[in-house]
């Protein structure tokens, strides 16, 4: 998995590509922890090039959500591939954060 990170003010964009398996989830967590978290209010994750999201990746998304929500922040997933978007809906993650299908 690869993750490109860009930040403008209090908004951060992660662009993911490849598979978010256990190793990818740890990489994602490292990128999140490297941010100035007290300055981040909005995290958007572009999943257009993401081919797989395993349980470890989902766990990291929940961790990000918990942190952001505790600081009045938001998490949004955009360009989520169909099968992954369906999984997120089945897990009711769309009740926690915004999920925009591709």
Task: State the Cα torsion 78-92-53-46 to the nearest 10°.
Answer: 10
Q: Which two tokens stand for residue 52?
A: 């797989």
> Which pLDDT does position 42 carry in this prediction?
96
Superfamily of domain 2-101: STAS domain (3.30.750.24)
Contact 34, 64 (CB under 8 A): no
> Which pLDDT does position 37 carry in this prediction?
75
> Which pLDDT does position 102 carry in this prediction?
86
pLDDT in tens, 17-76: 999 999 999 999 999 999 887 789 999 999 999 999 999 999 999 999 999 999 899 999
> Which pLDDT does position 39 carry in this prediction?
84
Rounded Cα gap, residues 32 and 28, in angstroms: 6
pTM: 0.94
């Amino acid at each position: 998995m690869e993750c490109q990170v860009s930040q403008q003010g209090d908004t951060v964009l992660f662009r993911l590509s490849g598979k978010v398996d256990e190793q990818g989830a740890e990489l994602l967590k490292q990128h999140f922890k490297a941010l100035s978290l007290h300055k981040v209010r909005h995290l958007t994750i572009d999943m257009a090039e993401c081919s797989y999201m395993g349980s470890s990746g989902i766990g990291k998304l929940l961790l990000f959500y918990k942190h952001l929500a505790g600081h009045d922040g938001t998490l949004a997933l955009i360009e989520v591939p169909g099968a992954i978007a369906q999984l997120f809906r089945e897990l009711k993650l769309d009740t926690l954060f915004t999920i925009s299908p591709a």
